[in-house]
Structures are given as structure tokens and as C-alpha cells.
Amino acid sequence: MSQPVTTRPAVLVARAIFPDIIEQLSRHFDVEANPDDALWPREELVRRLQGKQGVFTTGSERIDAALLAQCPGLRICANMAVGYNNFDLPAMTAAGVLATNAPGVLTETTADMGFALLMAAARRVTEGEHFLRAGRWDRWAYDMLIGQDVHGSTLGIIGMGRIGQAIARRGALGFGMRVIYHNRSRLPEADEAAVGARYVSKQELLRTADHVMLVVPYSAESHHIIGAAELALMKPSATLTNIARGGIVDDAALAAALREGRLAAAGLDVFEGEPRVHPELLACRNVVLTPHIGSATVPTRRAMARLAADNLIGYLLHGKPLTPLNPQVATA
């Protein structure tokens, strides 16, 4: 008796990832991986996507209408990131392609990084290290590398999703900060009370916060929400931290404010056009710069990868993705 022919779905993993995740995917799919972590040009990505039903993306692969038109068999793109500005979601929905991201699993880790940058900027940690390594530390001085207090100050959070709320909790409970926030929509009062945060206008936040933290997703609406006009509202003693996405801040305007002492310091994990960094930011001593590592801890990166893999397995094998961004595609 002949066995029924079963074809396994084919999946492309667009960037290098934990080997055991590739093994997990290989138990269910025909997997094409990218062990060298090559940054495939778009035409090559399109070529490798031929005959694939799923793709594991990492945020560096742009999925839009033009790509989808050339990949008619594609059914799901699973992003190993909570942000998904590399996806043209309406185009994916129109093409019937499911999009998933990796929310929840990186919240606390990314909030930790926000605090690390805020504290490093306020207390001039990396500037102090550069000073010491350069052999310039030859005595104590009352004003050597004096910075700003974090405890007891006012923390202004722009964007109050999961990560914003995790930062608010750290500020209010751990550092005794007054926490104010601005968001597209106000949180229910019980949620505000739970994280100890008060809703204010963006202008009031910028005028009164000692430390401003940006945690909004990137979109056309959030492009350059912090530019020269907004920086001009901030106190010269204030700091600005961006752990969200490049392009939310006008990097040239920020560099000018830092250089001219109109802002005390900044902490940046994300940049417009990264991995390039604006040369004027590189020239500023009062900015702490990290290469988009907000979620980069071993357990969190593993959890993100597993969630992306589970989305591929859930959808391609059972029609049930875990964290869909356009669930109407799954139920259509």
C-alpha cells in the first residue's frame, strides 16, 4: 500500500540564529538557514524566498508590497523583534500574508537597558571611563564629571506600552521618581496608579522632566517627534534616552543641543539609518551610545527566537499563530 505523500512546508531563516532553534524548525519544516549571517541584498532575499511558505525575520528584512508580489507562496513572516517597522502591515494583509512579532518576552530586559542608559548619561559613566582610560585622572576635584541625580527626580516617559510601564515601575518604586508620561491614549486610572505615573501633555512633559525616556514605536506619525523645537522646551540640565527606534529623534538636532549645552546628556541605543551613526553624535562627549542592544540578554534573545519559531510552527502546521499582528489573515 502506498503511503500518502506529505510535503513539509519550507521556511527561510533570514539571519543567523541559535542552532537549537534551527533544529526545532527543522523538525517540522524544510529549512534554509543563513549560518554565516550574510546580509542578503533584496534580490537575493526574494530569490531565496521562492518556494517558501514562511520566513523568520529579525527586523533587518523589509517586507513590502513589491517583495510580496514576487513571493506568491509566502504565508507568514515571523519577526524576532517587538518592533515591526520593517513590515508594511497593510501590504501584508492585502496579500494575505500573516505578520507576527515578539511582544512581552523582552519587556523587562529592554526596560533595564533604558535605565542603564539613563543612569550612564545622567552620571556620565562612559565619559568618566574614557577620561580614566585616557590617563587624564590625576586628582580629585569637586566638579570632576559632576552630573545629574536620578533618584528623586522627574522621569518623563513618552510612549506608555508594556516597556514604558516597566520603566515607570522602576522609576517610581526603585528610584523614588515622580513619573509623568505622554501617550497617544491615556492609561486607565488603575493602570496609572499601578505604575505610579501621571498623564501630561507632551509640552508639559518636555518642560518639566529631568529625564525623558522615549519608548514609542516608529511610524510616520512618530518620525522626529523630538526635533529642535521639542529639545528647546527641555531643561538644560535634562537627559534624553531613546531605546525605541531611530528616526523618532532628529539626530542632527540632538547633536546640536548636546554640543551647545542646551541638554545635559543623552543615552541612545537606536539611530536613524543605523548601523550608521550621525557623525555629530559621535563627536559629542555627553552622549552614551550603544548598538541597538536593548533586548540583548541570553534568556531574552532565546525567548524572542523561540516565540518567532513557535509562530511559524503554530501557523503553518495548525493555523494558530501565537502573536499575530494582522489576525484577520489567520481567520480568513
> Which positions lie near ligand GLV, rule CB under 6 A?
81-83, 106, 294-295
Cα radius of gyration rounded to whole Å, the chain = 22
For residue 167, the minimal CB distance to ligand GLV (Å) is 15
Nearer to ligand GLV, 106 or 179 (CB): 106
Residue nearest to ligand GLV (CB): 83
Smallest CA-to-CA distance from 174 within 121, 127, 108, 128 is with 108
Residue 82 CB, nearest approach to ligand GLV (Å): 4
Nearer to ligand GLV, 253 or 305 (CB): 305
Whole-angstrom distance, CA of residue 59 vs CA of residue 81: 6
Nearer to ligand GLV, 53 or 242 (CB): 242
Cis bond upstream, residue 275 (ω within 30): yes
Closest distance of CB 312 from ligand GLV, Å: 17
The grid coordinates of residue 284 equal: 559629542
Of 86 and 93, CB closest to ligand GLV: 86
The minimum distance between CB 150 and ligand GLV, in angstroms, equals 24
CB of 133 to ligand GLV, least distance (A): 29
Distance between alpha carbon 35 and the CA centroid of its chain, in Å? 24
Minimum distance between the CB of residue 59 and ligand GLV, rounded to whole angstroms? 6
3-class SS string, the chain: CCCCCCCCCEEEECCCCCHHHHHHHHCCCEEECCCCCCCCCHHHHHHHHCCCCEEEECCCCCECHHHHHCCCCCCEEEECCCCCCCECHHHHHHCCCEEECCCCCCHHHHHHHHHHHHHHHHCCHHHHHHHHHCCCCCCCCCCCCCCCCCCCCEEEEECCCHHHHHHHHHHHHHHCCEEEEECCCCCCHHHHHHHCEEECCHHHHHHHCCEEEECCCCCCCCCCCECHHHHHHCCCCCEEEECCCCCCECHHHHHHHHHCCCCCEEEECCCCCCCCCCHHHHCCCCEEECCCCCCCCHHHHHHHHHHHHHHHHHHHHHCCCCCECCHHHHHC
CB nearer ligand GLV, residue 81 or residue 157 = 81
For residue 218, which amino acid is it? Y
Nearer to ligand GLV (CB atom), residue 114 or residue 156: 114
Residues forming the active site: 245, 274, 292
| Least distance in angstroms from the C-beta of 104 to ligand GLV | 11
Given the complex with ligand GLV, which of 217 and 227 has the nearer CB atom?
Answer: 217
